[in-house]
Structure formats: structure tokens, C-alpha cells
Structure 1
């Protein structure tokens, strides 16, 4: 989280952001930051972010598959005396505060999206556990209220990987959960959260201030929630049913690019003492933004309009500029020192570099990753 004084992001900047500098090699910096610092076998949250970039191929610095390290070291289960089937779970944090699964289902979602089939087994402390069993535990714990919660993005993304339209399952409370109803509720949640931005877009306002309202009350600005919802539209029947409603959310996301860019640039000028946290926030936003639209394109076949394609190029240029400015501060080169002084900011520097590298790769020309 940024300091409260970063309400400066709400300052108005009448002119658009400055033009990007000539292309520079920021992408290798982002990739190196992720692959170096996310490979800590004692930090499962970081390992999951490395898998966001490199999928099931990502390994710890000792060479072990990251997925195995996560499950073997951090998966927990209810007492063996509990009634079958066994229930598996990850704690939100370790006793010393290391993040494991601060958002429900983050790890299961990561395992699914990294390419592991449901039949894949992982070595746990007590024996092999399949991904199918982990999904069963997710379904057992799932409550429909997560579809309307900012914390629901990861569980929604995971469930949409293993269900098709018309699918259903029973949770541990005995409720029959229908995936269509869950995802329809999630779309409604996204629309409601984005309402202020949608109004600003329709009114032609240059920006909508970020005041932790609506979508800005979600982790990572709701960009994970967009990914979870938009990915469900990979099914033609869903795409047809949602139609213009989903198109409008894509338009809002594109509008956000200019709206937030103005506020970040204003904050850099108005609060030079907070240059590093502002730049980290910029890398977070531009990287997640590119990742969100890249996933949407790849999963649904979406084809951007010429204006949307220009927005993608603007986002890539903005990410390039922000990453290079952050590199110039030395933060990437001395993340360990930063971790001792500001541990949350150091975590952001790692996780956001992974998302930014993934977002960059999704839109890089062939052979340029």
C-alpha cells in the first residue's frame, strides 16, 4: 500500500502524459527481477508470481519445480481423523508473516493456469496430492458471496478453468453452486465497481481520481477481477449472452489507461520523495493492464480495434518508461536492502515485475520476448 499522502494521485493534470522516450531494454530488467527474486523457495507467494511469468517451467533457485516447492512446503490438510474426503488448504501467511495465499485460491489458480492438468500429482508432506483434490477443496470452501467480493478474483479464475457453462458443484455448506450464476454475478460486480469510470468515460472527462472507491478498492485495482470475468467469455455462448456488456468493460479498461497515467505523472512531479512507490505503482498498473488485455485476446479471440491497438502500444511505452525510471533509482539492483526497510514495497517490486514481464511478453512481436 502506498502512503496516505499518495492521495496526490488524484491531482489533475490538464495535459496528457509526456511522449515516451526511444525504446530501451526495460524488458530484460523486468524478467531478471522476477526470475531472480521470485525464485526464493521460502516465499510461496513469490514463487506463484514466477509461475505467472514462466508457467510450470518456473523453478526455485535450487532448481526444484516451483509448484512442487509450494505444495510440499506450504500445503496443509485437516486432521487425518476428519471425515473424507480430505480438505486441503494454504494459510494466508506463515507465522513470520511471509505471504502464502493472501487472496483465496491464489495458489490453486496459479497451478491451473500454469498448465498442470487436474490429474497431476504433487508431493506433499504426507504423500501425493492431485490438483483435482485441491480443486475439490476449493469447491468445498467456495461461497457464492466471493463472486461479489474484491477478494474473489482468484477463486473465480480457478473455477472458470475447470467448469463449462451449465456446470455446477456442491460446496461444503450443502449449496448447489451454478457456475453460470456465479460468473453472471461477477460481471455485475465488475460493472458496479467500474461505474464511476464508465460515467467519466461517457462524460469525456480526462480522468477519474483514484480515491480507493469502486474498482480501486480491489487488490491490484481490480485487474485480476477483470481477468477472471473476461476469461469466462472464451465460451461462445457466454460471449453472445454478455455481448455489449463485456465490450463496455473493455472500453472502460482502455479509458483507465489515460486516466491513471495522468495521475501518476502528476504524482511524480508533486511528490518527489515518493518517487519509488509511485514508479512501482506505475509498473504494477501498466503490467497488469497489458496482462489483462493479453489474456483476454488469447483466451477469447478478441481483436482490438485500431484505437485499442494504439492504447496497447501506449501502455507498452509507458511500462518501458516507468521500468527504466525505476531501474535508475537502484531499487531493482538492491531489492534485498529495500526489503529490510520497506518489506511490502519490496514484495510489490518482485510480484509486479513478474506481472509486467508477462504483460510485456503477451504483446511483444514474435521473437522479441
Structure 2
């Protein structure tokens, strides 16, 4: 007779493998499409998810490819100094948002003393950050495009830091980040009013925070990260915590609107699901960073909102899978390139968000 143990083992071996988890699916997308050495923007997203030691397809570390292949130097009087070129040979933007690459390197934990070989000679990450300070202008504190520079500098500077930019202006970084908090409060004010009034949702019309790339969540991350310093938290009082509550309220507001749009415009299903992936993934990443960097301890109700965000992300990935979106990405890269880039970048951010909440 076959023993019960052998029978159980045989049935287990014959049963189909468990389907991949949401995180596994998103990691696979990122690992498949984000490691091409010809695309530094994609590599940056691969680094964000897989870490500073991840390697590009050609075997080199992705951080080396980004700096060695795409950094340039302008030594003319009044020139730009060290800078990343605008487009790759294939016509792709190198970094669509200012300082995206520098921010990626810094947040991945690349040491400031790390030396890269470039056509301009050996360059350290410290020199790249000095070049970023040289080209920095305080107006980035109120600009939708300022998030990445603020986040990068916020991780190499400390409260009380000052520096001089290329125009000779003395920049007080505390004042810059104070203004960034004011900007966040202003941009989220309509959502804050909706939350106070108990409205189920605040319509998205590309107003306020919705006018920012990725729904302003990179800007939120930069501001919140600066508050990891006790002196900053003390100076800001409870103002950032109010903005966290507004972000938590925003989850339900946006989820309702995505569902309504999917029902009203099924012909745009893939694009709408892509936007859902962007928001839910960045939402989890933003609060995951806040917990990791600032020691945030969500209340039971706040934790329930985080769980709900994960459920919404899982449902979105399931729907994208049913639409064969990830399998069709090579075709989308040719026929609908913007949708391809959205799916790729937002898959990496969503996977990172899930990893931060393990």
C-alpha cells in the first residue's frame, strides 16, 4: 500500500504551482524591462527597487552605467559644469525630472566618496551633489519639478546647512524646506477641506497636488523625509501629521473616482488601470518611507487604510494581468510608449512600496 505520507507528497507534486504574488509580478516587470544599459531612467527605477548593487544587462552595476555613460562636463565660462545629457542615443529622456538620477543614487545609499569613471575623468558622488547645489534655485521649493532635488539634498544636508549656488546666492536649506512644507499645505488644501467637510471625494481636475508629476507623491516624500530630523519635527509642530491625514483621506477619494471612470469609459481601461497602479504604488511607497525614515507608527485606523491601499493595488495588478498588460509591454513600447513607461516605472515604485511594508 502507498503510505499516506507518500500519497500527500505525490498530490503536492502534481498540484499546480501557486500563482505569483503581486510583489513577485511587479518585481518581474521591473527586472525584465528596467535593466537596459541604454536607458538611465529605467535603470534608476531598477536601482530604487533592487538596490545600489543591481546590475544592468551588460553586467555592469547600474549606478556605474548611469554616471559613466551619461554624465557630461561643460567647462566654458559660465557653463553648466557637470551635468547629465538630455537624451539617449535612442531619443529617450535621460532624466525627465531634474535631479532624478542624483536622488536615486543618494537614496540607494551610494557613498558620497564613491568614484565613477566618466568621459570627464573620475567623478565622485560628492562632486555630483556639489554640482546640484551649484545649479539649485530656491524656487524649486514651490515647483512641481523640485521634488527630486529637494529629496537628494535633504539626504546629504542637515538642519542649519547653507551653501552658495552658481549665481552667488546663499541658500538656507531650512528655509527652502519650510517653504516646501507651505507648498505641500497649499497644494493639498482642497483635499484638506474635503476631509474636514466629510466629503466622500474631491474631484481631480489637475488642480493643486494633482498638477504635480505622480500626483505630488514624490514631493510629499521629499518634505516628509526632511522631518526625520528631530529639530525639524519640533519646528514644524504637528503640521506634517495633518498632511499625512490628508494623504490617507485621499486614498478613498481617488479610489472612488478610478472605479467610476472604469465603469464609464471601459475603452480607456488600460490607461485607467495604469493610473491606479501609479497612485496606489506611490501611496504605499510614500507612507512606507515615512515609517522607515521617520519612525511613524500608524494608529489602528491608519493601518487599516494602508491595508486597504495594498488590497486596491493587488486588485489593480490582477486586472492588469487579466488584460495581458504586462505580457504586452514589448508591443506597447512601440505602439503606446507613454503607457509602456508608466507601467514600467510605476511597477517598480509599487513593488518598492510593497517591500517597505513587508
Which interval holds the TM-score relative to the shorter structure? over 0.9
1:1-369 to structure 2, matched below 5 A, reads: 25-79=21-75, 82=77, 87-94=81-88, 96-364=90-358
Q: Bigger relative contact order, structure 1 or 2, given CA contacts below 8 A and separation 6+?
A: 1
TM-score by length of 1: 0.90
Give runs of ≥4 in structure 1 deviating > 6 Å.
none
Give distance in 1, aligned partners of 2:315 and 2:53.
29
User: Contact 2:162/2:172 (CA < 8 Å) preserved in 1?
Assistant: yes
Structure 1 residue ranges without an equivalent (≥5): 1-22, 365-369
- Check conservation: 1:56, 1:67, Cα contact below 8 A: yes
CA distance in 2, matches of 1:148, 1:140: 18
SS of residue matched to 1:88: strand
- Name the count of aligned residue pairs: 340
d(CA) in 1 for partners of 2:281 and 2:303?
16
Partner Cα distance (2:323, 2:294) in 1: 39
The SS at the match of 2:98 is coil
Give the CA deviation at 1:126: 3.3
Partner Cα separation in structure 1 for residue 37 and residue 354 of structure 2: 25
How far off its partner does 1:29 sit? 0.7
> Structure 1, residues 273-332: CA drift from partner, whole Å, max 9, x if none?
111111111111000000000001111111111111000000011101101110111110
Residue deviations 1:22-73 (CA, integer Å, cap 9, x gap): x972211100001110001111000001111112022112221101111111
**Is contact 2:39–2:88 with CA below 8 Å preserved after alignment?**
no
Conserved in 2, the CA contact under 8 Å of 1:55 and 1:113? no
Q: How far is the alpha carbon of 1:96 from its aligned partner?
A: 4.3
Q: Quick one: distance in 2 between partners of 1:319 and 1:222?
A: 18
Contact 2:38 2:88 survives alignment (8 Å): no
Q: TM-score, normalised by structure 2?
A: 0.92
Deviates further, 34-43 or 54-63: 54-63
What is the distance in 1 between the residues matched to 2:37 and 2:207? 36
Tell me the distance in 2 between the aligned counterparts of 1:134 and 1:171. 14
Give secondary structure in 1 for the equivalent of 2:332. Answer: helix
- Tell me the distance in 2 between the aligned counterparts of 1:197 and 1:32: 35
Looking at structure 1, the residues matched to 219 and 30 of structure 2 have their Cα atoms a distance apart, in angstroms, of: 22
Cα contact 1:105–1:155 (8 A) shared by 2: yes
Instruction: Provide the C-alpha distance between the structure 1 equivalents of 2:86 and 2:209, rounded to a whole number of angstroms.
Output: 23
Report the Cα offset of residue 93 of structure 1: 2.9
Partners in 2 of 1:324 and 1:123 — Cα distance? 43
Listed as ranges, the gaps of 5+ residues in structure 2 are 1-18
Q: Deviations over 1:223-248 (max 9, x none)?
A: 00000000001101111111211011
Pair member with larger Rg: 2
Q: SS of the residue aligned with 2:155? A: helix
Q: Secondary structure at the match of 2:146?
A: helix
Do the aligned residues in 2 keep the contact of 1:93 with 1:102 (CA within 8 Å)?
no
CA distance, structure 2, for counterparts of residue 57 and residue 31 of structure 1: 16
Matched-pair contact (CA < 8 Å) for 1:234–1:300: yes
**Aligned-partner Cα distance in 2 for 1:286–1:259:** 12
- Give the Cα–Cα distance (whole angstroms) in 2 for the partners of residues 94 and 43 of structure 1: 7
Counterparts of 2:86 and 2:139, CA distance in 1:
19
Instruction: Answer whether contact 1:288 1:356 (CA < 8 A) is retained.
Output: yes
- Quote the offset at 1:82 in angstroms: 4.6
Partner SS, residue 255 of structure 1: helix
